[in-house]
Amino acid sequence: MNVNNGHLICPVCSLALTHAGRTLSCEQHHSYDQAKQGYWNLLLVQRKRSKDPGDNPVMVAARTHFLDQDYYQPLADNVCAGITQELHTKTDSRLLDMGCGEGYYTAQVEKALSGMNVEMIGLDISKHAIKAACRRSKSIHWMVASGAQMPVPEQSQDLLLVMFSRLMPAAFAKVLKPEGLLILAWPAKDHLLELRQSIYKEIKISEYNPTAELATLFSCEKVDTQRFEFTLQSSQDIQALLDMTPHSQRIAADTKETLLASAPLSLTFHVNLGFFRRL
């Protein structure tokens, strides 16, 4: 998994990083060693909001188990189709998955782009997530880094994929080439509605739409809304879904017990996938 020289920048001084062996270094002699799993840790201590930021091992394991059941496969298919359509006529493209987690979507995108010359980076602030992602692919460049300060040159990426992660318009625009594409996924109002109804007395219906926040830097080409019903087949799958969301910290013990015993559990999938062009 060799990193092309100059395709990454030093998180300290922003100079180009040169790859030699298992080390990245810049002209200011800042250096970063590759972890044994194959990823690079470019997250500066001062960029951490906690000692161990991002998803913890329990959340990563839960997300891996849940996504590997392919309940969200229709969304992955939609993402792969959109990216393939965007990049199939380009040569030497660069794609960055910001907030890639344990790499479920990133790895599927890589398979969809098989045969095309695309350099792919999967970036997340959680080292536990990136360690798990390394098991999905040895050819994707996996990075522990901050999405607010992605270690890539300005205007270097043809496509930025952001699946259910924090919205940072300026950071997104900074790394995308002019007319580069941002693909952004966020929950629609009925997503996992039945789960929320079983946990909370009052349901907050979100009408969130990032289009206005992105408008000064991006034009919205389209928003595809996917909605379908799916059924969790086991209590283990229900537990995994809870553990990968903030709901696990808020659910009462008796409610959780009832919920785990309710398998098979039918739920609503309701997600927006927006395609935004860098101005």
Residue list for the binding site for Zn(2+): 10, 13, 26, 30
Task: Give the Cα separation of 168 and 170 in Å (integer).
Answer: 6
Task: Give the Cα separation of 142 and 124 in Å (integer).
Answer: 8
Residues placed in the known binding site for S-adenosyl-L-methionine: 72, 102-103, 191
What are the start-end ranges of the H helices in the chain? 57-67, 73-87, 104-112, 127-134, 169-175, 193-199, 211-214, 235-243, 253-260
Task: Give the Cα separation of 163 and 72 in Å (integer).
Answer: 12
Q: Smallest Cα–Cα separation from 101: which of 46, 52, 45, 165?
A: 165
Task: Give the Cα separation of 81 and 84 in Å (integer).
Answer: 5
Structure tokens at 83: 């990216």
Question: Going edge to edge, which strands form the sheet with 23-25?
Answer: 18-20, 23-25, 31-33
Please check whether residue 137 is in contact with residue 110, taking contact to mean a CB–CB distance below 8 angstroms: yes
Q: What is the DSSP letter of 54?
A: S
Strand partners, 229: 268
Q: Smallest Cα–Cα separation from 168: which of 145, 190, 191, 189?
A: 145
Residues placed in the known binding site: 10, 13, 26, 30, 72, 102-103, 191
